[in-house]
Amino acid sequence: MKVRAEPPFDHPPRPLAQKVGAVLWPSFFAACIATMVFFAFVDPLALRDITFPEADISREAGYSIAFFMFWLATASACLFTWILLRPSSRYNKPPTD
C-alpha cells in the first residue's frame, strides 16, 4: 500500500495593502518614538547651525525633516525584515524532473 505524501502547507498570499501596512505602520510608530527621544535632547536649530549654517531651516522644518529621515530608516529595516520572513516554500520550488 502506497502512502501519499501531504503537500507542504503554504500560507496564502497576503493582499498588497496588508504587506504595505505591515511595513509602514511599525516604521511610522518607531519614527515617532525616535523623533520624540532625539529632540528631547537636541534642538533642531542648534543641529542646523552645526550642519548647515547657511540654510534657512525653521524649527518645525527640522522636526519634519528628521521625522521623515527616521521613518525612511525604520521603513527600510521593516522592509528587510519582511523580505527575510517570507515563506521560503513559495520561492524555493523543488526541482522538476
pLDDT (0 to 100) of residue 75: 96
Residue 64: closest CA among 37, 32, 91: 32
Q: Is residue 81 part of a domain?
A: yes
Residue 11 C-alpha cell reads as 500560507
pLDDT digits (tens, 9 = 90+) for 35-67: 999 999 999 999 999 999 999 999 999 999 999
Q: Is residue 5 part of a domain?
A: no
Cα atoms found within 13 Å of the Cα of residue 38, Cβ hemisphere only = 17
Q: Is residue 77 part of a domain?
A: yes
3-state secondary structure of 11: coil
What percentage of residues in the chain have a pLDDT greater than 90? 63
Q: Is residue 78 part of a domain?
A: yes
pTM summary value:
0.76
Give yes or no for a contact between 24 and 75, defined as CB atoms under 8 angstroms apart. yes
pLDDT band at 26 (very low <50, low <70, confident <90, very high): very high
Q: Which domain holds residue 80?
A: 22-85
**How far apart (Å, rounded) are the C-alpha atoms in residues 63 and 36?**
9
Collect all residues with Cβ–Cβ distance below 8 Å to 13 and sequence separation of at least 6. 90
pLDDT (0 to 100) of residue 30: 96
Mean pLDDT of the chain: 87
Q: Is residue 45 part of a domain?
A: yes
Mean pLDDT of 80-88: 82
Count of structural domains, the chain: 1
